[in-house]
Structure 1
Amino acid sequence: MDWIERWTQEDRGRFRTGIVRARHRLADSGLFCDPALEELIETHPRELLDIAVMDEDGSSRSWTDMAPGARGGAELLEGARQGRVWMNLRQAFNIHPEYRALLGAVFAELRALHPRFRPDVIKGGLLISAPGARVPFHIDRTDTMLWHLRGKKRVYVYPRSAPVLNEADVEAVLMHPFSDDLPYRSEFDRRARVFDLEPGEVLCWPVHTPHRVVNLDGLNVSMATEYACADVRVRNHAMMFNGLMRRRFGLTPSIDESRGLGLAARAGLGLAARKLKLLPKPDAPAPEAAPGGEPLISAMGEAGHSGA
């Protein structure tokens, strides 16, 4: 079966350099109906299951981490359906055999479409989130693709340029151990491209592209894939070195100044600085733990479509 549909010649030209919106048939696998999701949540390693509860404003500082405890798959899925819950089953498509096979088949098709596309590491997580749940304004550290499966989701994709984004912002994310959030201002939305995703659509953009997500309707289910390519690793480590130079010595380096050996040299120095723990760590809000024994749905309140 061909899992990817409508991947045009224009999409081939834009892949990894621009925004691509295409169609897929992953729902035909039968792996994303309620019984399958309940079983997946039930059997997924608890240490790889992230659950966040969001306050009414859905801002980057309103997330509260919540331990799954002994809750079963049906209860957790119902909490996502009725509350303000965002769940990430990290590496679900690398651990569970049926899901791993699907991920492999999808990326085999991508490699066939793009013969020079050779990612080193491919990871796939399953995102399950409530109607109205929001993911704040952020960038990803690697290339990502969002394969939407259930519900309706609005994605705001912003330019990788000032005033929305500058290199210091990217450096701060790359140097921080866990926070991908960026400073957000509502006027940025005038520069965004907005995509309302329906089930069966995939959306991807160049690495380090700022974006945020708002669920519009229904229980939202998406496969989020990330992959590592050599060019992005080199760029990331070079930007870490630039961040060190900017913050420790007051310099104003630019990634665009470096090409070829210069870029590789900065990357090598950035990697060494990271391993030696010489990189400064910008401040970020620490996650706030929720009571582990609190019933999941009552912890959400009466969220529904309130934009949590």
Structure 2
Amino acid sequence: MNIAFESKIERGLPSNSDEIDHILETSERTFKENYNIRPFKVHHTLCRSGLFEIPEIVKTARNIIGSGNAADFLALDLRKESISSKFTEAAQHDRLTEVIERLGEGGSWIRLSRTQDYNPDYARVLAMLIDEIGTYADRPFRQEVTWATLTVILTSPGISTPFHIDHESNFLFQIQGEKDVCLFDPGDREVLPEIELERFYASSYNTPRYKPELQSHGQIYQLTPGEAVHHPPVAPHWVKNGSNISVSLSISFCMRALEQRARIYQANFMLRQLRLKPRPPGRSPRGDALKARLVSALEMPNPKTFQDIVYSPMTRLKSPMQFLKRVSGRRGIA
């Protein structure tokens, strides 16, 4: 766990709400059998807290913008985009806080990242969720987490979020409006081939490609206020907003086991550059351990961000890898 994790996540109830003493509502059996393996729905109480009404979110957005951390506030125009688009293809809005107030008029997709760092009540919500997940999963969850964040997502009516995957373990909580979330099995190698995972972990975030002919492999979960759906790590998904403004919370966790798997994929990406055919994770425990150990040696000593935790080995290897490609190309093996 990074050193800053414990100090930034406060425990306890939101300071301006005495209505909730718990957040998740589900059965322990359902949770334990499915968590980090397959999608499943839960109910939640966050709609009762009043913490995620638009005015409170606007205050948090202004705190983010005032901090100068521009990367933590992203506003995209997705009117022309579709499930098969890429986030990097969408145009960014310029006047960020104003676009929130015009959500019902336009085609906006707005993301407020790391909100726990800008709103202490959000930090308390995140802390409650970490403790509750540990209880439901019946494991020392807090000790497994290396990075955690609460992201607020605001969406105009009818907007589609492009098909993509995330490294993290995630829960998407619906607060206002409705949306359809289509999730695919993270182990379905027709939908998500090994080579796409390798490229994803080599920093090619847009690598996963939507395959319309495989849409039947996915399951659509309709979310209404008070419902949430679990996204297992690297589960491919797309989202389609309903006819009203949507407010959602994305709770994401990096975990030690996920970073170890990322190191194996990163090692496999490098081996594939040499025209080798590496085994996917899980096929060779001894080989997996060796790959993870070698790539982990390149990790940043004191990671502070998501990028540091997941991608620092590849970032530090960028120049040597470019050299390796040139050398292997001259030898006719790449």
Fold-level similarity (TM above 0.5)? yes
Q: Give % identity.
A: 22
1:171-225 CA distance string (max 9 Å, x none): 1111126x24521121121111111111111111321111111111211111111
Secondary structure in structure 1 of the residue aligned to 2:270: helix
Alignment pair present for 1:110 and 2:126: no
After TM superposition, list the pairs within 5 Å mapping 1:141-180 onto structure 2. 141-159=167-185, 160-176=187-203, 179-180=205-206
Task: Tell me what 2:108 maps to.
Answer: 85
Q: Provide closer, same or farther for how the CA distance between residues 180 and 279 of structure 1 changes in structure 2, counting only shifts above 3 A.
A: farther
Instruction: Give the equivalent residue in structure 2 for 1:184.
Output: 210
CA distance in 1, matches of 2:147, 2:117: 11
- For structure 2, the 5+ residue unaligned runs are 1-20, 299-312, 323-334
**222, 227, 233: which one pairs with 2:253?**
227
Q: Which residue number corresponds to residue 276 of structure 1? A: 317
Distance in 1 (alpha carbons) for counterparts of 2:214 and 2:116: 34
Instruction: Please point out which of 256, 259, 262 is paired with 2:287.
Output: 262
Question: Could you list the per-position Cα deviations for residues 214-272 of structure 1 after superposition, in whole angstroms to 9, with x for gaps in the alignment?
Answer: 1112111111111111111000011110011113334243222231x432221133343
CA distance in 1, matches of 2:147, 2:118: 14
Q: Which amino acid aligns with 1:135?
A: T
| Aligned match of 1:24 | 44
Does residue 76 of structure 1 match 2:134?
Answer: no
Of the three residues 173, 177, 195, the one matched with 2:221 is 195
Change (3 A) 1:61 1:15: closer
**Contact residue 155 and residue 245 of structure 2 kept, 8 A:** yes
8 Å CA contact retained: 1:239, 1:270: no
Counterpart AA for 2:272: R
What is aligned with 2:76?
52
CA distance in structure 2 between the partners assigned to 1:192 and 1:170 by the alignment: 18
Residues of 1 paired with 2:120 and 2:51: CA distance? 11
Decide which moves more: 269-278 or 96-105. Answer: 269-278
TM-score for the superposition, normalised by structure 2: 0.76
Q: Which stretch shows the higher mean deviation, 271-280 or 96-105? A: 271-280
Matched to 1:16, the amino acid is N
Identify the match of residue 268 of structure 2 among 242, 251, 267. Answer: 242
| Alpha-carbon distance, 1:101 to partner | 1.0
Equivalent residues of 2:178, 2:224 under 8 A apart: yes
Provide the secondary structure at the position in 1 that maps to 2:282.
helix
CA contact (8 A) 1:136 1:181 kept: no
Whether 2:163 is the aligned partner of 1:122: answer no
Aligned residues: 275
| 2-structure distance, mates of 1:20, 1:165 | 20
CA distance in 2, matches of 1:20, 1:94: 28
Instruction: Specify every segment of 5 or more residues in structure 1 that has no aligned partner in the other structure, as ranges.
Output: 281-308
Match of 1:37 in 2: 57
Tell me: higher relative CO, structure 1 or 2? Use CA pairs within 8 A at least 6 residues apart: 1
1:144–1:204 CA contact under 8 A, matched in 2: yes
Query: Quick one: distance in 1 between partners of 2:195 and 2:54?
Result: 43
C-alpha contact 1:156 1:195 (8 A) present in aligned 2: yes
Which residue of 137, 147, 165 corresponds with 2:163? 137
Q: Counting helix residues as a fraction of each chain, which structure ranks higher?
A: 2
The residue that corresponds to 1:218 in the other structure is 244
The verdict on how the C-alpha distance between 1:250 and 1:79 changes in structure 2, with shifts beyond 3 A counting, is: farther
Q: Deviations over 1:153-177 (max 9, x none)?
A: 1011112323211111111111126
Corresponding letter in the other structure for 1:199: P
Counterparts of 2:55 and 2:148, CA distance in 1 = 26
Check whether the contact 1:147–1:200 (CA below 8 A) recurs between aligned residues. yes
Task: Specify the alignment match of 1:253 in structure 2.
Answer: 279
> Which has the larger share of strand?
1
Cα deviation for residue 137 of structure 1 reads: 1.1
